[in-house]
Every structure is written in C-alpha cells, then in structure tokens.
C-alpha cells in the first residue's frame, strides 16, 4: 500500500524537473567551460570539484534526517538553495568564483538523496515504485540533455545556465505540495518488519560494506570519462544536436531499463545483475576508446545505460528493503557517497593522467579499466545476500 499517494506523485513531478534542469547543466558544463577558454585539465578538475559535493554531503544529510525524522525540511532547503545558486551562476564570469558557486550548489543538490529516502518510505520499499522513481529521473535527464543541445544550437552555450534556471522554477510548483506523513511511515514500517521477522533497530548487519566499495571502484573508472564524453564525441561529430542525442540516449535507455529491472529483479538474481552491470562497464570503456562515429558511440551509450540500470537498481532495492526509517537515510547517503567518491577521486586520477599524457584522452582512458574490474572481484568474492 502506498502512503500519501498524492505526495508520491508530486515527488515524481518535482524530481523530474530537477533532473531535467540539473543534469542538463552538468552535461553541458564542460562545453560551457570550454567556451570560456578553460583547458581540458581544468575542465576535468572543475567537474571533479562539483561532483565531490555529492560525495561529501549525503551521509551527513542522511544521518541528520534519520535523527530528526523530518526529511521534508531537507527537501525544502535543497530546492530553495538550488534556486538561489542557479541565479548566482548566471553572473559568474571568473573560473574561481564559478567553482565556489558550483560547490555550494552541489551541497543543495545533495538533498536529492533525501528525496529517494523519503520516496522509498512512502512506497514501502516496493521495487516497482522505486523503478518508477529511477526511470522518472532518467527521462528528465534525457529531455534535459536533448533539449539542452537544441537550445545551444539555437541560442549558444553561454545561455545554458539561464535555461536550466527556467526549467528548475517549474519544480518549485510541486515541492510545496509534498507531505511526509512520518507517523504513518513508522507504523507501516513496524508492520512490515514484523511480517519479515526483522527488528527495526537491528538492521545495520543486513548491509554488506562490499556493496559500497564496488560502487566506488565502478564510478572511479567510468564517470571521469563520461564527464568529458561530449568533448570526445565532438572530435568526430560536428553537430551539437547529434551529440546531444547521443548523450541523451544514455538516460533515455535508462528509463526503459530501470522499468525492466523493476520487473525482473528478485532476491535470487540481485547479485547476478550487480556483477553483470560492472562487467558491462569494462566493455563500455573499451568501446569509447575505439568509437569514431555516431553509430559506434550509439552502441556503447546503450550499454552504459544498461550497466547503470543493472547495478543501481539492484543496489537501491537492496538498501531500501534491508533498512528502516532509523537508518535508511544514512545508508542511502552511503550509496551516494560511494558513487560520487569514486567520481571525485577517479576524476583527480584522470586529471593526473591527462597531465602526464599531455591531455591525450585516448592514451589516458585504458588505465581506467582496472577499477570496474576490481568491482567485479569484490562483488564475486565478498558480497553476500541475506
């Protein structure tokens, strides 16, 4: 049974427009920085600093939302803060000021981990509804990237932050109608815990730490490459619309793959999908190295979407079903931290490689393959389902 169905619908609409806006900004930020005359190493470093906020803040936000048992405050703070920082970004002309503002924006964006925590509580950890959430985020990302590419072709990349702000304003309409219904959540969780014979205060042991290590190494290897894939594609494809379509293909395919995972995931195959997701990541990195035309990138954009849908849906469903309101925010925060810690440290490592190899992306990329291989080994050897 869904708790506060209207709030669930408003959350889906709210998150859709947030992902539309923020993922469009993240996707085209490298092009925006390149247009400012920023070099490849600084672009990668700036993206790394921005993404580091998703590594630093989610555990603290999740922990305090567990402690206060009032997650809606964090959601409202995040929305107000993102709105304010997007306005400031419009006027940023200096790279140092831009980095500071992006870092603060990242703090407020980290509230997205609280959205998923509250949402999973309201839908009582149902994998089908969790797949709706992830698919909704993916389609927002897809439209943001594709429409963002068209916007740049028509109005130039300098105005992408203004367009991002315009889309984000729509999300504010829905956030004010979200209700938490905390007591109903606690009552429903108590009944659910009794049904599956698990004590509400004794679920930390149900979460293997190997889950977080594998997420870390997967993102260490592939996300720094994805952060500059627009630039890599532009070496071979001249049209911004085609590049936007290829970038947007990733979340578009995730939309369908997330829904599929919601149907096929089960306790029996969860570990299998985790391992397959990491194996596909290795294949994707190899594919980007050898792709030199639209269709080459097309194939591996589909595979990277499938890779992400497999491991992320399996991770979130496992965490949702093996945590309670007293620790769910913390563990969802750990998942986000593992995701973006890998992104951050991997980005620094990739920046170092670019410095060593004179910003030659193709020479640096093969060194990243070893890290998702580590994820495969961790999942195979260490991960144990309860």
Q: Each residue of 333-361: pLDDT tens digit?
A: 899 889 888 888 888 898 889 888 888 88
With a CB cutoff of 8 Å and minimum separation 6, the contacts of 253 are: 301, 302, 305, 306, 309
pLDDT in tens, 68-115: 888 999 999 999 999 999 999 998 888 889 999 999 999 999 887 789
| Axis crossing angle, helix 182-195 with helix 112-122, rounded to the nearest 10 | 60
Looking at every residue in the chain, the average pLDDT score rounds to: 87
Q: Which of 252, 38, 253, 28 is nearest to 151 (CA)?
A: 28
**Domains in the chain: ranges and CATH:** 5-381 (1.20.1250.20)
For residue 168, count other CB atoms closer than 10 A to its CB.
21
Which of residues 184 and 312 earns the better pLDDT score?
A: 312
Give residue 136's pLDDT: 93
pTM, rounded to two decimals? 0.85
The half-sphere exposure of 290 on its side-chain side, counting CA atoms within 13 A, is: 6
Give residue 197's pLDDT: 46
Q: What is the mean pLDDT of residues 361-369?
A: 90
With contact defined as beta carbons under 8 Å apart, do 130 and 312 qualify? no
Q: What is the mean pLDDT of residues 224-247?
A: 82
The half-sphere exposure of 80 on its side-chain side, counting CA atoms within 13 A, is: 7
């Amino acid at each position: 049974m869904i708790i506060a169905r209207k709030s669930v619908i408003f959350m889906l609409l709210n998150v859709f427009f947030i992902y539309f806006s923020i993922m469009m900004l993240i996707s085209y930020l490298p092009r925006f920085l390149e247009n400012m005359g920023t070099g490849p190493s600084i672009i990668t470093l700036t993206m790394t600093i921005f993404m580091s906020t998703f590594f630093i803040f989610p555990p603290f936000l999740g922990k305090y939302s567990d402690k206060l048992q009032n997650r809606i405050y964090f959601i409202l703070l995040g929305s107000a803060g993102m709105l304010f920082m997007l306005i400031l970004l419009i006027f940023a002309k200096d790279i140092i000021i831009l980095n500071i503002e992006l870092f603060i924006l990242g703090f407020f964006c980290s509230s997205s981990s609280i959205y998923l925590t509250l949402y999973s509580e309201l839908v009582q950890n149902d994998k089908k509804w969790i797949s709706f959430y992830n698919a909704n985020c993916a389609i927002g990302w897809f439209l943001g990237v594709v429409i963002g590419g068209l916007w740049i072709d028509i109005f130039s990349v300098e105005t992408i932050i203004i367009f991002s702000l315009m889309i984000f304003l729509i999300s504010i309409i829905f956030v004010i109608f979200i209700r938490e219904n905390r007591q109903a959540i606690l009552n429903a969780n108590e009944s659910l815990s009794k049904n599956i014979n698990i004590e509400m205060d004794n679920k930390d042991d149900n979460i293997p730490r190997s889950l977080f290590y594998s997420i870390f190494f997967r993102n260490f290897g592939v996300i720094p490459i994805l952060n500059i894939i627009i630039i890599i594609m532009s070496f071979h494809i001249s049209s911004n619309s085609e590049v936007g379509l290829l970038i947007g293909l990733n979340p578009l395919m995730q939309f369908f793959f997330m829904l599929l995972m919601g149907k096929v995931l089960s306790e029996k195959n969860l570990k299998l999908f985790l391992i397959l997701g990491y194996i596909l990541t290795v294949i994707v990195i190899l594919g980007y190295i050898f792709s030199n035309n639209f269709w080459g990138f097309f194939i591996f954009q589909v595979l990277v979407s499938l890779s992400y849908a497999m491991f992320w849906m399996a991770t979130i469903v496992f965490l949702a079903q093996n945590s309670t309101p007293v620790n769910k925010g913390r563990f969802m925060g750990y998942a986000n931290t593992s995701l973006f810690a890998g992104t951050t440290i991997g980005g620094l490592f990739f920046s170092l490689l670019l410095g060593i190899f004179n910003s030659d992306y193709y020479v640096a990329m093969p060194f990243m393959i070893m890290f998702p291989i580590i994820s495969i080994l961790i999942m195979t050897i260490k991960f144990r389902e309860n």
